[in-house]
Structure 1
Amino acid sequence: MANRYWCGECSFKTPWRAETEGLRRQLEHYADKHPGTPPGGQIETRRKYPNRGYGCLFLAAVALVLLTAVASCQH
């Protein structure tokens, strides 16, 4: 599942990343841009496409069907 961290002090937001990577980037942002301020803001969670691995599986299935159709037309 991917998360995006929003800064509570400015308009900064991290890219969509795993929880640990997003949190690390938010902490780095606060240390650099808002020293002495405890990290805050919002965490946005992407739920629509939590696992994109099925896209490749779908394309492989379509390719297999097309290959079968082409092979059957040649006989």
Structure 2
Amino acid sequence: MVNRYWCGECSFKTSWRGGAEGLHRQIEHYAEKHPGTPPGGQIETRRRRAGRCPGCLLLAAIALVLLIAVAACRP
């Protein structure tokens, strides 16, 4: 999973980061832009799609259809 941290005081948001890197960047943002304010806001989570390749699946389906069509055309 990767997270994106949103500032509760302004429109700042981190890029998608794994682990604690996004939280660290949010804390740095608060220290620089909102000193004395405890970090807040929201955390957006996105799950990674490991091992999925919809384009590969489409190519495999097309290859299978072509193979069946060629096999059907042979005498």
Residue segments in structure 2 that go unaligned for 5+ positions in a row: 71-75
Q: What is aligned with 1:7?
A: 7
Residue segments in structure 1 that go unaligned for 5+ positions in a row: none
Structure 1 SS opposite 2:26 = helix
Structure 2 SS opposite 1:39 = coil
Q: What is aligned with 1:21?
A: 21
Q: CA deviation at 1:10?
A: 0.2
State percent identity of aligned pairs: 68
Structure 2 SS opposite 1:23 = helix
Q: CA deviation at 1:37?
A: 0.6
- Using structure 1 for the length normalisation, give the TM-score: 0.66
Deviation beyond 2 Å, 4+ runs, structure 1: 51-55
- Using structure 2 for the length normalisation, give the TM-score: 0.66
Aligned length: 71
Q: CA deviation at 1:52?
A: 3.7
RMSD: 2.9
User: Structure 2 vs 1, CA of residues 32 and 53 (structure 1 numbering), >3 Å: closer, same or farther?
Assistant: farther
